[in-house]
């Protein structure tokens, strides 16, 4: 009888075949768009994913999730193409939102908001980050300004948000706002005229459907039964998805890193210069060797953090460490692949340039590297203080 882990490997293999055979040929589809694939492309790919049995592959029929270690095997494979996560429904922010709703939503909330996400018929957005110029919450959530006021049998929400991934086209929204009891998370049907998309940000990345949006929430009414958990639970609930969502970014982009390395290796083995194949020039060969090492390190960090989560911990420290290590390493991997491929490397048609853009953003998204280091230093001090009390 196969172990669960072997089962996950089989899922991962099926996903890999799907992504390599079916998804990759779509990479030059004009519907990819500068800031994420258009809905019609996502829909088409998802139909193919259902056909191949790889829709939402990390969640089982009964709603249970693979372990994080198993999820890592699968999500890496969806990441082999920039279109893979959207196709297989393992993309941010849906992956994290599904996890959160699976753990914290009421049965009624699950039926209305979670089920269409899991089946891949809806996308979602998490309305958290706020504009810098208004002094809103960026890396520092305590600066949250969006307000929720009780109103009749529900709440009225007002505020501005930015970098709301996937908001354009999403059908499910999770909105963070501050009420008297503290931060709250509200579930909303989208689109809603009270949630205005002011624009899609002109960011360097471009794989997430719906892009990253600038939003105005103008007197949005939310019925009382659509609060997730209790008033004041907002930050606690956000913590549930925090570490796994952060880690799932690492998993997916590791897959794209593997693919970038494949392209760069192929180029370096074929292209001649100064009398030898590029790879036989140490200047290029060493870069690919460094990549091989760093990709392995990424995989090990992800597995380590995943095991920590699987052990029931909140994973905050391991996921901070892993996020920093993986985002910075994959950026270097991308940079070397670009350089190894020279003129071809700087072309957006090739995977290295795409990974380069994605990971440049990843170093900022989900907490910039510096915020994680700051938090790790605090933890180190706390540990020292306790040991020397």
CB of residue 139 to a copy of itself, shortest distance in Å? 6
Which two three-digit tokens encode residue 196? 């205005």
Q: Which is nearer to a copy of itself, 60 or 378 (CB)?
A: 378
- The residues in 355-384 that bind a copy of itself, with binding defined as CB under 8 A, are 356-357, 360-361, 363-365, 368-370, 372-374, 376-378, 380-381, 384
Q: Which is nearer to a copy of itself, 111 or 286 (CB)?
A: 286
CB of residue 299 to a copy of itself, shortest distance in Å? 9
Residue among 24, 48, 104, 204 that touches a copy of itself (CB under 8 A): 204
Q: Which is nearer to a copy of itself, 1 or 389 (CB)?
A: 389
Q: Which is nearer to a copy of itself, 102 or 368 (CB)?
A: 368
Residue with tokens 């002109």: 202
Residue among 18, 26, 163, 253 that touches a copy of itself (CB under 8 A): 163
Residue among 152, 202, 312, 389 that touches a copy of itself (CB under 8 A): 202
332 binds a copy of itself (CB under 8 A): no
Closest CA to 206 of 263, 267, 256, 277: 256
Angle, helices 351-362 vs 234-270, to 10°: value is: 150
Residue 223 dihedral angles phi and psi, to the nearest 5°: -60, 155
> How many whole angstroms separate alpha carbon 308 and alpha carbon 305?
5
Closest CA to 82 of 45, 125, 53: 45
> How many whole angstroms separate alpha carbon 364 and alpha carbon 324?
10
- CB 171, CB 200: distance < 8 Å: no
Q: Which is nearer to a copy of itself, 74 or 337 (CB)?
A: 337
CB of residue 272 to a copy of itself, shortest distance in Å? 6
Site track 115-144 with a copy of itself (rule: CB under 8 A), x = hit? --------------x--x--x--xxx--x-
Closest CA to 355 of 248, 207, 201, 211: 207
145 binds a copy of itself (CB under 8 A): no
CB of residue 370 to a copy of itself, shortest distance in Å? 4
> How many whole angstroms separate alpha carbon 348 and alpha carbon 344?
9
- CB 173, CB 154: distance < 8 Å: no
Query: What is the residue-wise DSSP string for 116-137?
Result: HHHTTS--EEEE----GGGT--
> How many whole angstroms separate alpha carbon 36 and alpha carbon 357?
13
- The residues in 262-291 that bind a copy of itself, with binding defined as CB under 8 A, are 265-267, 269, 271-274, 277, 279-286, 288-290
339 binds a copy of itself (CB under 8 A): yes
Site track 70-109 with a copy of itself (rule: CB under 8 A), x = hit? ----------------------------------------
Instruction: Report which DSSP code applies to 25.
Output: G
- The residues in 296-325 that bind a copy of itself, with binding defined as CB under 8 A, are 296-297, 300-301, 304, 321, 324-325
CB of residue 229 to a copy of itself, shortest distance in Å? 26
Closest CA to 90 of 112, 66, 109, 113: 66
- CB 350, CB 344: distance < 8 Å: yes
* Stretch near a copy of itself under the rule CB under 8 A, chosen from 2-10, 168-176, 195-203, 240-248: 195-203
């Amino acid at each position: 009888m196969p172990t669960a882990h072997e089962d996950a490997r089989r899922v991962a293999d099926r996903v890999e075949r799907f992504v390599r055979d079916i998804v990759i040929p779509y990479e030059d589809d004009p519907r990819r768009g500068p800031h994420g694939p258009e809905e019609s492309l996502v829909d088409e790919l998802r139909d193919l994913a259902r056909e191949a049995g790889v829709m939402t592959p990390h969640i089982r029929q009964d709603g249970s999730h693979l372990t994080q270690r198993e999820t890592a095997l699968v999500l890496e494979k969806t990441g082999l193409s920039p279109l893979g996560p959207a196709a297989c429904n393992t993309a941010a922010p849906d992956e994290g939102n599904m996890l959160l709703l699976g753990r914290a939503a009421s049965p009624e909330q699950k039926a209305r908001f979670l089920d269409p996400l899991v089946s891949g018929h809806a996308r979602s957005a998490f309305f958290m980050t706020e504009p810098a110029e208004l002094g809103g919450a960026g890396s520092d959530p305590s600066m949250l300004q969006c307000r929720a006021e009780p109103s009749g049998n529900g709440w009225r929400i007002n505020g501005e948000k930015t970098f709301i991934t996937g908001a354009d086209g999403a059908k499910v929204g999770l909105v963070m706002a501050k009420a008297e009891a503290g931060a709250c998370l509200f579930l909303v049907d989208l689109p809603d005229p009270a949630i205005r998309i002011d624009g899609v940000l002109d960011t360097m990345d471009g794989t997430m459907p719906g892009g990253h949006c600038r939003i105005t929430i103008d007197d949005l009414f939310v019925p009382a039964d659509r609060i997730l958990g209790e008033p004041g639970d907002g930050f606690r609930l956000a913590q549930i998805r925090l570490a796994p969502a952060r880690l799932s970014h690492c998993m997916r982009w590791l897959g794209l890193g593997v693919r970038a390395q494949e392209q760069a290796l192929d180029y370096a083995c074929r292209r001649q210069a100064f009398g030898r194949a590029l790879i036989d020039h140490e200047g290029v060969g060493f870069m690919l060797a460094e990549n091989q090492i760093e990709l392995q390190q990424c995989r090990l960090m992800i597995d380590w953090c995943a095991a920590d989560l699987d052990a029931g911990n909140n994973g905050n420290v391991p996921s901070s460490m892993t996020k920093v290590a993986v985002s910075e390493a994959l950026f270097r991997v991308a940079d070397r692949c670009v350089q190894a491929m020279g003129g071809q490397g700087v072309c957006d048609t090739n995977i290295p340039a795409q990974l380069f853009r994605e990971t440049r953003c990843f170093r900022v998204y989900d907490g910039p590297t510096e915020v994680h280091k700051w938090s790790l230093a605090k933890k180190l001090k706390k540990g020292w203080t306790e040991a020397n009390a």
